[in-house]
Amino acid sequence: MRKYINSIFFLCALALASCGVNYQNPPKDPLRTSTIRGQQTRDGLVSWTWSIYTVEVIDNTPVRLMKNDNEIVLNSGTHNVVLSAFFNRGFGLGPYKARGDLTMNFVPGRDYKVNGRLEGSKMLLWIEDTATSKPASKVLNLPYQDAPQAAYVPIYLPTN
């Protein structure tokens, strides 16, 4: 019985250790905040060619579980953001990942989205103003690499 209690305690401690401080949206106010979204593109209904552009980190604080359509609210001003692209280029060609950071001044009341484009052996990533569809940040020219595949690690608990 004591083994079970120790095992459960260990698993609970492990789960709590993975918790951390994540980015929290401030209250949305057009006079003081901006918004940014990720996006997803797909060529065709059943296509192996797709791209997902997201924000991973804002001012050294991770953005957890950002889906491509989630809206992130930022206080206006200068922020350091980490952008990422996760993409596939056809059946058996990927997935790949590119990641880079930039510093940008976010203007109050503006809406932005993360955008990108594959160009040769580099991924171009930038933040775009949704009203003008033009880059609002510098364009990052990033190398990409194979994205890590999910790995499953079995955990065995004693039965006696």
Binned at pLDDT 50, 70 and 90, residue 24 comes out as confident
Least confident of 16-30, 98-112, 120-134: 16-30
Residue 115 predicted with pLDDT over 90: yes
The reported pTM is: 0.75
More confident residue, 155 or 10: 155
HSE-up (13 A, CA, CB side) for residue 142: 23
User: How far is residue 145's CA from residue 139's CA, in Å, rounded to a whole number?
Assistant: 19
Tell me the torsion sign for CA atoms 54, 59, 62, 64. negative
* Res 149: pLDDT: 61
Specify the higher pLDDT residue, 75 or 94.
75
pLDDT of residue 14: 45
Question: CA separation (Å) from 123 to 26, 49, 65, 115?
Answer: 31, 15, 22, 10
What residue has token string 């993409």? 87
- Predicted local distance difference test score (pLDDT) of residue 19: 58
Least confident span in 1-5, 76-80, 114-118, 142-146? 1-5
The closest of 116, 114, 115, 118 to 94, measured between CA atoms, is: 118
C-alpha distances in Å from residue 70, one per residue of 73, 115, 133: 10, 14, 19
pLDDT (tens digit per residue) in 41-88: 887 666 677 888 999 999 999 987 655 557 899 999 999 999 999 888
155 vs 98 pLDDT, higher one: 98
Model confidence at 94: pLDDT above 80: no
**Looking at the DSSP assignment, which residues form a beta bridge with residue 142?**
123
Q: How far is residue 96 from each of residues 51, 93, 112, 122, measured CA to CA in Å?
A: 9, 8, 24, 11
| Max CA separation in the chain (angstroms) | 66
- Lowest-pLDDT range, 4-8, 11-15, 49-53, 133-137? 11-15
Task: Tell me if residue 111 falls in helix, strand or coil.
Answer: strand
Work out the number of other CB atoms within 10 angstroms of the CB of residue 106. 22
